[in-house]
């Protein structure tokens, strides 16, 4: 039997909910006015029979009317009066604004959940507080007016996660792959100011950082740019500098050969590349966007993205400088070089750089040194990606969200200038626990939850429909994503595969353990885990066919949500060993952080799940300090090239300001059992006097984490 909720959604009739509501009303009256548990069960049974007799799905209000009538017929007048009052109060609550307490706690900096929500935001800073305050209002409006109640309830219960509800009230999308080439080559407009095509590499870098800041303020997810789009301006500078050197020599009456002029100009070119790359690194880190943080930007480094010859060699020079400056790091407030969170770097492994005799092997060795020191770059295997992406190799948007392959009107693959509409994540562990290990019931609940996710994703899509290009000119009118006319809606970019929309998933490991009794790395349990992945992919394909919207399966990078999901699971199902007994659940398809497995086996195992997560995935291996073992880093990189599309190495790069300690700052328990960070050298526990960098979700965090994520970081085992 089904009922219709206030949102209009049909769900399975649940007798226990009726019994629970009557018991609440029963407990609210004097002992003399109470009825027995047997009478409560009888009233609920009669209500269920009345619902069955209707020959249709009753709505919630009708069912509550039936309960009132039965209470009156049972002479439980006091309880009926309380029940009616309770219904009225709940109706008022649903219509009231519930943001006051959250906003006040933000202003007083005592909202612990918000403090640890984003590891790259400092909630004591005014701009961050302003963003969070706006976010609380947006979430309230979203819950009360913009989303069906069924989705709100599922989100609050941890059955699904409706990502970025704090931005949903506005017409904003998630992440994007910036068409920097269009903006630089054809000019762009920022704050109603025309910026022409740059006349030098350094100017191109400056314009790029301004574009990055504007784009970050117009969306809520990550963005990616390619150094291949900056590389052509090296030649622009080279030609300009050659003219300048020639003019200087002539003005001083010095005869100089073309070869000598070119040599002098080339020295100046390298200096300009140094300055341009430094500009990108420092401006990205120091810029503050309207959402109160540095732009979440990824820089893509792919040698074969440009033709062989001078342009490719120029790109190699830019990549080399980017790696060298990242190895150096940036200075903290004490003037000590530390690991910055952004920009995230991605380096493509390919035939031109993966072997010792490859032309650009020197760049790969430099990348290995950078990874050992600063945890970036991350690595994409051109070889594997081309197998999975129809012969194409391209960057993700932000940390892991990948576009599907799309061909433009000339039948050429197009990636830059595209975006993701949003994400809704499915809690796989909840599906498993709700099934009680009944496999038939598992797949039935799975399908019901998938339909709920589809409805939530369509809310995201519908929120973007009709959005005029005027809401974010830098995106829709001036080249970052499109060149639409003023007032033109973005609708055509939402269909036909131009943009994607993501079905996220979390906790495949715990889901498999509950249903099979074994980790998904166990050969007997792996087929079930793969079937779960295929089932979600099949749903995405079905939805895409029905809607002409590119649904894509996405390995969600849980940060604060891992803690939320864990708490909800424990509330709903209690503590289940190996399933709900942690303060976190596992990201996407990952091997559990406590499982002992070597780096090479882990990457090879997870590669099969990356293939089934086309909308986004990244794998990692946890390693010790590798600065004195670069050969081992290179060995892992070569394994990535041969076996998996996208992976990273996690090391530690911390600094204690109290004692100048460089190394790994540890996680310990205080007297109250809370997990805190402590310098192993001096015992410093003041987070304001330490710089800690950890990768949690594909990107590096530097502002600390909630207790769930902190436990996950503490329990990670080394894979090398």
User: Which one of the listed residues 416, 505, 554, 584 is annotated catalytic?
Assistant: 554
Cα distance between residue 593 and residue 608, in whole Å = 18
Which region holds residue 548: left if phi is over 0, alpha if psi is between -120 and 50, else beta? left
CATH 3.20.70.20 for the 176-388 domain, yes or no: yes
Catalytic, 559? Answer yes
Helix or strand (DSSP H, E) at 655? strand 654-656
Task: Please pick, among 183, 322, 397, 511, the residue that the annotation labels catalytic.
Answer: 397
The residue ranges of the chain whose pLDDT is under 50 are 7-8, 112, 119
> Is 396 annotated as catalytic?
no
Cite the beta strand spans of 428-574 per DSSP E.
500-506, 550-555
Q: Is 578 a catalytic residue?
A: no
Is 175 a catalytic site residue? yes
Per annotation, catalytic residue among 138, 401, 519, 619: 401
d(CA 146, CA 514): 35
**Can you give the three-state secondary structure of 495-531, one letter per residue?**
CCCCCEEEEEEECHHHHHHHHHCCCCCCCCCHHHHHH
Which residues make Cβ contacts (< 8 Å) with residue 191, sequence separation at least 6? 214
Is 397 an active-site residue? yes
Q: Is 554 a catalytic residue?
A: yes
Contact 181, 225 (CB under 8 A): no
The tokens describing 158, both together, are: 């941890």
Residue 587 is classified by DSSP as: B
What burial letters (b/e) apply to 464-491, b meaning 16+ CB within 10 Å?
A: beebbbeebbbbbbbbbbbbbeeeebbe
Catalytic residue of the set 26, 150, 237, 420: 420
* Token pair of 138 as six digits: 């947006």
- What are the extents of the domains in the chain? 2-96, 176-388
Please confirm, yes or no, whether 202 is among the known catalytic residues. Answer: no
CA pseudo-torsion sign 315, 317, 321, 324: positive
* Residue 557: closest CA among 699, 394, 371, 714: 699
Rounded Cα distance, 527 and 591, in Å:
15
Kindly report the three-state secondary structure assignment for every residue of 138-150. Answer: HHHHHHHHHCCHH
- Pair of tokens at residue 481: 């994503």
Q: What is the pLDDT of residue 7?
A: 45
- Please tell me the pTM assigned to this model: 0.83
Residue 174 falls in the annotated catalytic set: yes
Structure tokens at 718: 């080394």
30 is catalytic: no
What pLDDT sits at residue 652? Answer: 86
Residue 125: the pLDDT is 65
| Set 272, 455, 559, 622: catalytic member | 559
What is the tens place of the pLDDT at every residue in 96-145? 555 555 556 555 555 545 555 554 556 666 666 677 677 777 888 888 88
Residue from 51, 66, 79, 175 carrying the catalytic annotation = 175
Return the closest-CA partner of residue 702 out of 642, 636, 652: 652
How far is residue 493's CA from residue 482's CA, in Å, rounded to a whole number?
9
506 burial via Cβ count (<10 Å: 0-12, 13-18, 19+): buried
């Amino acid at each position: 039997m089904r009922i219709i909720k206030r949102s209009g959604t049909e769900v399975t009739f649940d007798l226990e909910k009726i019994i629970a509501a009557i018991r609440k009303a029963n407990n609210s009256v004097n002992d003399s006015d109470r009825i027995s548990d047997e009478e409560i069960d009888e009233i609920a049974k009669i209500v269920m029979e009345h619902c069955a007799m209707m020959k249709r799905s009753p709505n919630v209000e009708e069912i509550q009317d039936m309960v009132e009538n039965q209470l009156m017929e049972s002479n439980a007048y006091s309880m009926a009066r309380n029940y009616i009052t309770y219904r009225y109060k709940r109706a008022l609550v649903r219509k009231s604004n519930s943001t006051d307490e959250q906003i006040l706690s933000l202003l007083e900096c005592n909202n612990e959940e918000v403090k640890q929500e984003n590891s790259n935001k400092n909630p004591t800073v005014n701009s961050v507080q302003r963003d969070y305050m706006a976010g609380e209002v947006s979430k309230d409006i979203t819950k009360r007016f913009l989303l069906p109640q069924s989705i709100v309830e599922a989100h609050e219960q941890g059955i699904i996660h409706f990502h970025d509800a704090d931005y949903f009230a506005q017409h904003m999308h998630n992440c994007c792959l910036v068409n920097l080439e269009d903006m630089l080559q054809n000019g762009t407009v920022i704050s109603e100011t025309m910026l022409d095509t740059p006349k030098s590499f350094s100017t191109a870098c400056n314009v790029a950082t301004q574009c990055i800041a504007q784009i970050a303020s117009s969306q809520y997810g990550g963005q990616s740019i390619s150094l291949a789009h900056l590389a052509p301006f090296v030649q622009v500078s080279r030609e300009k500098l050659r003219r300048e050197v020639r003019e200087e020599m002539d003005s001083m009456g010095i005869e100089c050969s073309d070869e000598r002029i070119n040599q002098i100009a080339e020295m100046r070119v390298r200096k300009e590349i140094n300055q341009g790359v430094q500009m990108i690194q420092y401006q990205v880190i120091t810029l503050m966007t309207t959402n109160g943080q540095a732009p979440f930007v990824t820089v893509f480094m792919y040698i074969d993205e440009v033709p062989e010859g001078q342009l490719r060699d120029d790109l190699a020079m830019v990549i080399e400088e980017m790696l060298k400056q990242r190895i150096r790091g940036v200075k903290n407030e004490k003037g000590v070089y530390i690991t910055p969170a952004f920009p995230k770097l991605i380096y493509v492994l390919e035939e031109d750089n993966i072997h010792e005799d490859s032309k650009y092997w020197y760049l790969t060795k430099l990348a290995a040194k950078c990874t050992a020191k600063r945890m970036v770059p991350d690595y994409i295997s051109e070889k594997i990606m081309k197998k999975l992406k129809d012969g194409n190799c391209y960057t993700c948007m932000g940390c892991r969200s990948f576009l599907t392959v799309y061909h433009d009107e000339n039948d050429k693959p197009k990636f830059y200038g595209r975006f993701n509409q949003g994400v809704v994540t499915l809690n796989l562990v909840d599906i498993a626990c709700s099934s009680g290990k009944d496999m038939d019931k598992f797949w039935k609940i799975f399908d019901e939850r998938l339909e709920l996710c589809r409805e939530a994703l369509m809310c995201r899509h519908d929120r973007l429909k009709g959005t005029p290009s005027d809401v974010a000119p830098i995106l829709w009118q001036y080249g970052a994503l499109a060149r639409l006319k003023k007032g033109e809606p973005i609708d055509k970019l939402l269909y036909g595969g131009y943009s994607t929309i993501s079905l996220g998933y979390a906790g495949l490991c715990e889901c498999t353990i509950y249903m099979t009794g074994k980790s998904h790395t166990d050969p007997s349990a792996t087929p079930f885990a793969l079937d779960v992945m295929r089932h979600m992919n099949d749903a995405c394909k079905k939805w895409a066919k029905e809607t002409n919207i590119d649904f894509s399966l996405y390995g969600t990078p849980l940060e604060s949500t891992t803690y939320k999901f864990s708490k909800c699971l424990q509330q709903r199902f209690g503590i289940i060993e190996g399933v709900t007994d942690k303060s976190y659940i596992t990201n996407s398809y990952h091997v559990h952080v406590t499982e002992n497995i070597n780096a090479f086996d882990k990457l090879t195992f997870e590669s099969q799940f990356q293939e089934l997560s086309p909308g986004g995935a990244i794998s990692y291996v946890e390693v010790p300090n590798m600065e004195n073992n670069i050969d081992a880093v290179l060995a892992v990189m070569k394994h990535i090239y041969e076996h998996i599309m996208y992976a990273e190495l996690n090391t530690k790069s911390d600094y204690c300001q109290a004692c100048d300690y460089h190394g790994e700052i540890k996680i310990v328990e205080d007297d109250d059992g809370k997990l805190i960070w402590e310098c192993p050298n001096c015992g410093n526990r003041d987070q304001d006097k330490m710089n800690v960098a950890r990768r949690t979700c594909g990107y590096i965090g530097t502002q600390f984490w909630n207790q769930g994520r902190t436990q996950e970081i503490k329990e990670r085992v080394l894979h090398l």
